[in-house]
Structure 1
Amino acid sequence: MNHYGPLPGAKRYAELLHLIEFCFNCANNHSLFLNYVAYVTDRDYFHNSMPEALVDISLGCKT
């Protein structure tokens, strides 16, 4: 068992929160990119080339 103390423990907790925030931001950016590809660049190609269930998961909406 590791005892980091109050300051190093708080620093590790803050780093963990930053990592979680980074992951959520990356997921949001990925979702925005997929929506851009699906609805702006090649609308028909994106929806026709992927299975409907995968499109629903990727875009977060029912098509």
Structure 2
Amino acid sequence: MVYTWKKSSRSAPSSQCIETSAAARGAAVRDSKLGDRSPLLHLSTSQYASFIAAVRRDHFTS
């Protein structure tokens, strides 16, 4: 599969970021710093929606 990766326009070059791409049955997520060397996390459509909702709630803030 060919992925078209997107990174948030709000992310700074040196910050911790992820990139996302549409996948066959949902989305793929990778570490933007590792690029093509990054392992991929494949999420179903419902898992991806839950992930985005958690990000919007600041669930991952340390």
- Normalised by the length of structure 2, the TM-score is 0.26
Instruction: State the TM-score, normalizing by the size of structure 1.
Output: 0.25
Larger strand proportion, structure 1 or 2?
Answer: 2
Higher Cα radius of gyration: 1
